[in-house]
């Protein structure tokens, strides 16, 4: 966590811990990402954002360019999933009450910009510090048959439980991870596989779309071989951060930010962008 420690140029941390959001608020966490990242860059303020969506497939922009999107959407609906198109990352992931999304939002130092790989390594370091032990090494390499595969897929014994993306807005960076904590990961994988089969037909697994194999992914609680709740994961992440980084959580300023005129104007702008982006689904 030494590298992560170097990122915090202030001793105050904002923590935004949201409850699991339902369909009417599906656009909100994505609009918040850009709004909070802009704020972080302007004010040199680190922010952690915990969020969840209930029963939704989050599509990347590449997913919207499949050969038969309508058929893919029908498949997801039959499996009980709603759909939203996000503003980061190229390929889709599932979100439900067993998945925790974490955004580490940081200013990008003017004197020494954080590289893309450095930002990914910061997140990997944080997750390792929180959950790795002598019998469970957390590795980072691409799990090619997972959904949304990437160089910094996090896995234990070759089974992926998390994927990392990032978004850069002006002078801020959001490093975002989804953690499969508990629930039916096999079902998630099967639903994503069916989506790609339905939307790509004979092109399944080709042209940069993953040949999803549900068996290469697992929940963190299964890999650690102990029950694990979302709240326990949040607490562990915050505890190790506060142990290793000389910051305290500022509980006063975040509520003021969320009701400020600047925030209300910016979040409205970002919500409109999300609405425009999701017209692709109509």
CATH number where 166 lies: 3.30.930.10
For residue 124, what are the contacts with CB-CB under 8 A and spacing of at least 6?
A: 138, 140, 152, 154, 164
Alpha helices, H only, 66-184: 69-78, 116-131
The rounded distance, in Å, linking the Cα atoms of 31 and 274 is 7
pLDDT of 63 higher than 80: yes
pLDDT in the model for residue 9: 67
88, 93, 119, 148: the active-site residue:
148
pLDDT of 215 higher than 90: yes
Give me the domain span that covers residue 221.
2-281
* Structural domain count, the chain: 1
Is 148 considered catalytic here?
yes
Residue located via tokens 């915050």: 238
Phi-psi region of 44 (alpha: psi -120 to 50; beta: other; left: phi over 0): left
195 — pLDDT class (breaks 50, 70, 90):
very high
pLDDT of 6 higher than 70: no
* Residue 89, CB-side half-sphere exposure with 13 Å CA sphere: 26
Phi-psi region of 150 (alpha: psi -120 to 50; beta: other; left: phi over 0): beta
For residue 260, what are the contacts with CB-CB under 8 A and spacing of at least 6?
A: none
What are the beta bridge partners of residue 100?
A: 179
pLDDT in the model for residue 251: 85
Q: Which of 162-171, 185-194, 218-227, 259-268 has the lowest mean pLDDT?
A: 162-171
* Residue 112, CB-side half-sphere exposure with 13 Å CA sphere: 5
């Amino acid at each position: 966590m030494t590298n992560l420690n170097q990122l915090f140029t202030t001793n105050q941390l904002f923590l935004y811990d949201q409850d699991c959001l339902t369909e009417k608020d599906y656009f909100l966490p994505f609009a918040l990402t850009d709004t909070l990242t802009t704020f972080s860059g302007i004010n040199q303020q680190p922010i952690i954002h915990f969020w969840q969506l209930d029963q939704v497939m989050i599509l990347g922009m590449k997913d919207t360019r499949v050969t038969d999107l309508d058929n893919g959407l029908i498949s997801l609906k039959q499996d009980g999933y709603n759909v939203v198109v996000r503003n980061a990352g190229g390929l889709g992931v599932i979100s439900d009450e067993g998945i925790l999304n974490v955004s580490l939002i940081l200013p990008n130092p003017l004197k020494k910009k954080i590289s893309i790989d450095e930002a990914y390594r910061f997140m990997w370091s944080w997750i390792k510090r929180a959950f790795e032990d002598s019998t469970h090494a957390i590795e980072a390499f691409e799990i090619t048959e997972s959904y949304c595969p990437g160089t910094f897929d996090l896995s234990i014994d070759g089974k992926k439980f998390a994927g990392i993306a990032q978004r850069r807005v002006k002078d801020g960076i959001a490093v975002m991870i989804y953690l499969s904590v508990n629930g039916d990961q096999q079902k998630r994988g099967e639903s994503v596989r069916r989506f790609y089969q339905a939307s790509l037909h004979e092109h399944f697994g080709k042209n940069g779309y993953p040949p999803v194999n549900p068996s290469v992914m697992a929940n963190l609680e299964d890999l650690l071989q102990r029950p694990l709740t979302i709240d326990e994961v949040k607490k562990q992440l915050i505890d190790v951060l506060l142990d290793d980084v000389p910051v305290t959580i500022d509980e006063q300023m975040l509520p003021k930010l969320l009701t400020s005129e600047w925030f209300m104007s910016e979040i409205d702008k970002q919500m409109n962008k999300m609405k425009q982006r999701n017209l692709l689904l109509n």
